[in-house]
Each structure stands twice: as structure tokens, then as C-alpha cells.
């Protein structure tokens, strides 16, 4: 019981920057650090200078949230690391990229000119884990739908 929860990290987040200003957000970040949290996350700094001020004042490891077209300037991980941030999240980057690619593919289909696949189907199978899925299916004796059958169905 003594070790229970030893691997859990506590992250304290404040959204005070947007509603109460930077001074209040910094005060809350300090209070979180004083309470002993593992990670402090000040949401929505509005400039690189604010990100720097938060990092200079932090008494706990920091997380930054990089959202395209958000209130916080989009900085590369290396720059944030140089400032002192230990964790950087880009929560919408993949979703925005995927949605854009799907939109472009749909525009091509609507125009009647299907685009060639930007990735080999075999690579998609690797990413999705078709081989492991097929192995589990064989292990439990389900019907066969392995990648070669799927692939031949698409050709």
C-alpha cells in the first residue's frame, strides 16, 4: 500500500490567463508548485514573452499547449525546451493535418479526378496493425480476413 500511486503525476492547470490576466495565472502557478504538484500548466499565454515569464518564474516542471491559431504563439519544441518547458502538447496538429488531407481528397473525387494514394496500402496495414490483428484472429479461431485477402479485394 505504501507504493500505491507512486507512478502517478499530478498536473495542475490554470485557465486564469484568459479571464483574470497573467498576474493571477502566475500566482496560481506558484500556489500549485507550493502545494507540490508534479507539473504546472498555464493555459493560453498570449505571447512568447509571457511563455518566457512563466518559465522564469516556475518552481515546478512546465507544460505548454501549442494549438494552431490559438491564443499562444505556435513555437517549435526546441524553443520551448530552451525556455524550460518539459512537456509540449500539439493536440490539434494531427487532426488538422488529417482533416485537410481528407478535404483535398474529397475535392479531387468531386472533380472526377481521383488522386493517387499518398501512402502505400501495405504501409497503412503496418501502421494499423493488420498483421497483429490477423494473428489474434487465428489464435481465437475466427474467420480469416488477413491482409492478403483484403488486399486482393481492393485490387
Binned at pLDDT 50, 70 and 90, residue 114 comes out as confident
pTM above 0.85, yes or no: no
How remote is the C-alpha of 141 from its chain's centroid?
Answer: 36
pLDDT in tens, 118-147: 889 899 999 999 899 888 888 887 665 555
| Region of poorest pLDDT, from 14-18, 83-87, 88-92, 109-113 | 109-113
- Checking if the pLDDT of 43 tops 60, the result is yes
- Strand 11-14, strand 62-65: pairing: unpaired
pLDDT at residue number 155: 46
- Mean pLDDT confidence for 18-25: 97
pLDDT at residue number 116: 83
- Checking if the pLDDT of 151 tops 60, the result is no
Binned at pLDDT 50, 70 and 90, residue 39 comes out as very high
Task: Outline where the chain has alpha helix (H).
Answer: 16-20, 22-35, 48-57, 77-83, 93-110, 121-128, 130-140, 147-154
Question: What CA–CA distances, in Å, run from 20 to 25, 28, 149?
Answer: 7, 11, 59
pLDDT at residue number 3: 78
pLDDT in tens, 50-102: 999 999 998 999 999 999 999 999 999 999 999 999 999 999 999 999 999 99
From the number of C-beta atoms within 10 Å of its C-beta (0-12, 13-18, 19+), residue 41 rates as buried
Q: Which of 46, 83, 88 is nearest to 64 (CA)?
A: 88
Amino acid at each position: 500500500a505504501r507504493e500505491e500511486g507512486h507512478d502517478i503525476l499530478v498536473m495542475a492547470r490554470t485557465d486564469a490567463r484568459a479571464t483574470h490576466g497573467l498576474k493571477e495565472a502566475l500566482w496560481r502557478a506558484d500556489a500549485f508548485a507550493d502545494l507540490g504538484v508534479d507539473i504546472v500548466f498555464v493555459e493560453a499565454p498570449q505571447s512568447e514573452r509571457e511563455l518566457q515569464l512563466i518559465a522564469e518564474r516556475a518552481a515546478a516542471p512546465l507544460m505548454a499547449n501549442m494549438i494552431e491559431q490559438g491564443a499562444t504563439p505556435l513555437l517549435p519544441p526546441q524553443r520551448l525546451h530552451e525556455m524550460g518547458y518539459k512537456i509540449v502538447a500539439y493536440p490539434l496538429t494531427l487532426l488538422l493535418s488529417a482533416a485537410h488531407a481528407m478535404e483535398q481528397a474529397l475535392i479531387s473525387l468531386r472533380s472526377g479526378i481521383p488522386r493517387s494514394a499518398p501512402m502505400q496500402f501495405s504501409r497503412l496495414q503496418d501502421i494499423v496493425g493488420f498483421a497483429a490483428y490477423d494473428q489474434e484472429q487465428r489464435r481465437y479461431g475466427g474467420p480469416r480476413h488477413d491482409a492478403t485477402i483484403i488486399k486482393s479485394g481492393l485490387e
